[in-house]
């Protein structure tokens, strides 16, 4: 299991993911779940977060890069007209990969499915994020729910629901993403460091800031500590019962 989140605000996009991959409690490894594609210096920019079967995810990422390296490939990331076309393209590749190995994995009981979040911006268009399901279809973020999650989603959701709106500042959205990751890590051992954070500011056509954080990274430690202290203070200010 893993956890990835993408937040869409008026100022741009935030992406965050953990790096833990496990096949049981005694087989834990580290793989990046965040992949950045910048086919041309002037844009577009794409960020892909992955969750689910690691082999499927890696095969999809490899195919995306293989297509970009092939000048004769008609459909590839730098030739789509809209970001939702890119989401459909990733979904199509994912379905082909899953179909290729589904029968072989049935005997072992392994799950071949993978899910993705694709975000970015094409020149002259608005930035956006899409969640691509294992079936190959996709949804986009909305003004009412300006974030998307994949993997172990439930523990990191409350802060996103309470804090994030389209008007949220980009750096505040990034802090929310880190708290969301921290909350998930505390409640689920299948999610763990290092944590990756990427911030894309609208119309910049590049990733403006990228962080790779471990459990002992000063920024990560301080954010977790202050969030916990703030929650405790808020709890202590809750109204008393009549009989207290």
Instruction: Summarize pLDDT for 149-161 with one digit per residue, the tens.
Output: 999 899 999 999 9
What's the CA gap between 51 and 115, in Å, rounded? 5
pLDDT value, residue 37: 94
What's the CA gap between 212 and 184, in Å, rounded? 17
pLDDT value, residue 27: 58
Please give the average per-residue pLDDT across 193-200, as a whole number.
95
- On the CB side of 68, CA atoms within 13 Å amount to 17
Taking phi first (over 0 means left), then psi (-120 to 50 degrees means alpha), and beta for anything else, what does residue 215 get?
A: alpha
pLDDT value, residue 236: 96
Q: What is the pLDDT of residues 33-74, one digit of tens each?
A: 999 998 887 778 999 999 998 889 999 999 999 999 999 999
The DSSP code for 70 is -
| pLDDT > 70 in the chain, percent | 94
The mean of the pLDDT values for the chain is 91
Please give the average per-residue pLDDT across 118-141, as a whole number.
95
pLDDT value, residue 209: 96
The CATH architecture annotation of domain 3-215 reads: 4-Layer Sandwich (3.60)
Residue 25 has pLDDT above 60, yes or no: no
Return the structure tokens found at 151.
Answer: 């993997």
Return the structure tokens found at 198.
Answer: 């990427």
What ranges do the domains of the chain cover?
3-215
């Amino acid at each position: 299991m893993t956890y990835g989140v993408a937040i869409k605000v008026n100022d741009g996009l935030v992406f965050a993911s953990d790096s833990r991959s496990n096949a049981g409690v005694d087989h834990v490894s580290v793989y990046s779940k965040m992949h950045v594609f910048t086919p041309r210096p002037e844009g577009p920019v794409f960020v892909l977060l992955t969750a689910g079967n690691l082999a499927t995810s890696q095969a999809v990422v490899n195919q995306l890069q293989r297509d970009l390296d092939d000048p004769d490939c008609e459909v590839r990331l730098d030739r789509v007209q809209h970001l939702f076309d890119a989401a459909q393209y990733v979904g199509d590749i994912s379905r082909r990969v899953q179909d290729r190995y589904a029968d072989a994995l049935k005997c072992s009981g392994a799950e071949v499915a993978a899910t993705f979040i694709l975000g970015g911006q094409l020149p002259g268009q608005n930035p956006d994020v899409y969640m691509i399901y294992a079936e190959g279809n996709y949804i986009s973020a909305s003004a009412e729910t300006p974030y998307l999650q994949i993997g172990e989603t439930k523990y990191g959701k409350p802060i996103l629901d309470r804090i994030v709106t389209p008007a949220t500042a980009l750096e505040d959205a990034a802090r929310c993403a880190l708290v969301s990751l921290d909350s998930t890590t505390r409640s689920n051992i299948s999610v763990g460091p290092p944590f990756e954070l990427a911030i894309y500011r609208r119309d910049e056509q590049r990733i403006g800031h990228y962080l790779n954080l471990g459990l002992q990274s000063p920024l990560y430690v301080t954010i977790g500590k202050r969030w916990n202290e703030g929650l405790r203070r808020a709890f202590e200010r809750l109204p008393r019962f009549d009989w207290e």
